């Protein structure tokens, strides 16, 4: 089936063709028609499967056909992060470019005045995080009492972020008679309980690939001492200077340290974490998106739901604490039909975490073995300077004929 075969408006079909959308992905094929038919949906689909367009395409079409001139909010999309809200807003705007559907992304961390002005002009689709939405509802700026669609995206992450009460509270402001679309990357008892609390008699759709890591991604690991990770990261970046690379670390402090380590060897990079002002976070993501910056260092903040085009490499500088975060990190590359690579730096103290990941994904991860000479060669080739104690130890061994352990 092609997108041209769906009962959606010609404006949307033309724009999809312009954007290169020809045939739907599995999740799109399974949900677009039921949404157009007015069904409630409970969909479990992995990251990178195309689920954003799966709900954007049919909801825009329905709203466009039913739209009047009052610009009441017809569709409420609730998401866990500001970055995801902005991304989904952009997909709505892009696909609905030639329609009369007005879309707005609402989130905290930015000034309210411009947001209020946009809302007062009237919108059809509101993509929002819970905090700022409830703030403006309390100010009588937002009225969601007439919505036709409620969409919960990345519901599992919303639970992780403690938004269960907000999801339940929103039910007090929206009509009982509505169409609810529930999307989650993972399924659990908590997710099922939440889903059946907000979705009535849904069509349940589950896209469960045999492998948790997409076939478009090659993933491997290398054993590296914790203090030597910066040398291996430098080596990879210099080997692939034109590639987009996301470097995942465990904490904000670690992201700043890696940023400084790369700065010392004259490699440009930027870091992204929750303590950075929201407008600056958007600017950082956009510079990475358009290729002005090739190396992005981030915490797991950006591992879920953010679609950056043409990311060739994901580097797990730190092994993630939660095994499912490994899957979400790797999912930042190899999007759609593109190929991608994920490499993990595993130190001795992270071995247990790594083993839990192997158990979780149910398959072995290939080890990239580095012999002692090559290991030292990577350290020696660094522009960090010759003061590293391992270099001094190697030089001592060579000059004295000793073989002290490193």
pTM: 0.77
Q: How many CA atoms lie within 13 A of 90 on its CB side?
A: 11
pLDDT in tens, 175-184: 999 999 999 8
Beta strands in 324-399 (DSSP E): 340-346, 366-367
Domain range annotation of the chain: 3-206, 217-370
pLDDT in tens, 55-94: 999 999 999 998 876 678 999 999 998 889 999 999 999 9
394-397 CB contacts, 8 Å cutoff, 24+ apart? none
CATH topology of domain 3-206: Rossmann fold (3.40.50)
Whether the domain at 3-206 and the domain at 217-370 fall into the same CATH topology? yes
Going 103 to 106 to 110 to 112, the CA torsion angle's sign is: positive
Query: Is 171 in contact with 165 (CB distance < 8 Å)?
Result: no
Each of the 406 residues of the chain gets a pLDDT tens digit; together they read 899 899 999 999 999 999 988 899 889 999 999 999 999 999 988 777 788 999 999 999 999 998 876 678 999 999 998 889 999 999 999 999 999 999 999 998 888 999 999 999 899 999 999 999 999 999 999 999 999 999 999 888 888 878 889 998 999 999 999 999 999 877 778 888 888 888 888 899 888 666 778 888 999 999 999 999 999 999 999 999 999 999 999 999 999 999 999 999 999 999 998 788 888 888 999 999 999 999 999 998 766 656 788 899 999 999 999 898 898 899 889 876 788 999 999 999 999 999 999 998 888 999 999 999 999 899 988 877 544 555 555 665 666 666 545 4
Overall size of the chain counted in residues? 406
Query: Is 155 in contact with 195 (CB distance < 8 Å)?
Result: yes
**Of the CATH numbers 3.10.20.600, 3.40.50.300, 3.30.465.10, 2.102.10.10, which one belongs to the domain with range 217-370?**
3.40.50.300
C-alpha–C-alpha distance, residues 353 and 357, integer Å: 7
C-alpha–C-alpha distance, residues 191 and 45, integer Å: 13
- Per the listing, tokens 């599995």 go with 26
C-alpha–C-alpha distance, residues 132 and 130, integer Å: 6
Beta bridge partners of 42: 182, 204
């Amino acid at each position: 089936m092609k997108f041209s075969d769906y009962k959606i408006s010609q404006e949307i079909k033309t724009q999809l063709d312009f954007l290169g959308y020809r045939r739907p992905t599995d999740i799109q094929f399974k949900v677009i028609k039921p949404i157009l038919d007015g069904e409630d949906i409970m969909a479990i689909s992995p990251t990178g499967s195309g689920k954003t367009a799966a709900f954007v395409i049919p909801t825009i079409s329905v709203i466009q056909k039913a739209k009047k001139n009052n610009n009441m909010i017809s569709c409420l999309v609730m998401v866990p992060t500001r970055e995801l809200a902005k991304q989904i807003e952009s997909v709505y705007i892009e696909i609905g470019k030639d329609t009369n559907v007005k879309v707005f992304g609402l989130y905290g961390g930015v000034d309210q005045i411009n947001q209020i002005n946009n809302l007062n002009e009237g919108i059809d689709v509101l993509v929002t995080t819970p905090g700022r939405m409830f703030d403006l509802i309390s100010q009588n700026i937002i009225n969601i009492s007439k919505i036709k669609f409620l969409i919960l995206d990345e519901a599992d992450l919303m639970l992780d972020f403690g938004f269960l009460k907000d999801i339940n509270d929103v039910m007090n402001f929206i009509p009982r008679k509505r169409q609810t679309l529930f999307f989650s990357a993972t399924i659990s008892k908590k997710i099922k309980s939440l889903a059946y609390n907000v979705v009535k008699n849904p069509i349940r759709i589950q896209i469960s690939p045999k492998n948790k890591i997409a076939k478009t991604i090659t993933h491997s690991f290398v054993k590296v001492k914790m203090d030597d990770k910066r040398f291996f990261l430098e080596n990879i970046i210099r080997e692939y200077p034109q590639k987009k690379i996301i470097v995942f670390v465990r904490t904000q402090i670690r992201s700043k340290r890696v940023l400084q380590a790369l700065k010392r060897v004259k490699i440009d990079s930027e870091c992204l974490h929750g303590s950075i002002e929201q407008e600056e976070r958007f600017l950082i993501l956009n510079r990475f998106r358009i290729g002005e910056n090739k190396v992005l260092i981030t915490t797991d903040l950006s591992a879920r739901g953010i679609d950056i085009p043409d990311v060739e490499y994901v580097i797990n500088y730190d092994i993630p604490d939660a095994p499912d975060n490994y899957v979400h990190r790797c999912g930042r590359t190899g999007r759609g039909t593109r190929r991608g690579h994920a490499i993990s730096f595993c130190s001795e103290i992270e071995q247990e975490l790594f083993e839990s990941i192997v158990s979780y994904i149910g398959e072995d991860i290939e080890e990239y073995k580095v012999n002692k000479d090559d290991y030292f060669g990577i350290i020696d080739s660094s522009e960090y300077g010759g003061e590293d104690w391992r270099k001094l130890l190697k030089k001592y061994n060579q000059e004295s004929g000793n073989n002290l352990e490193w």
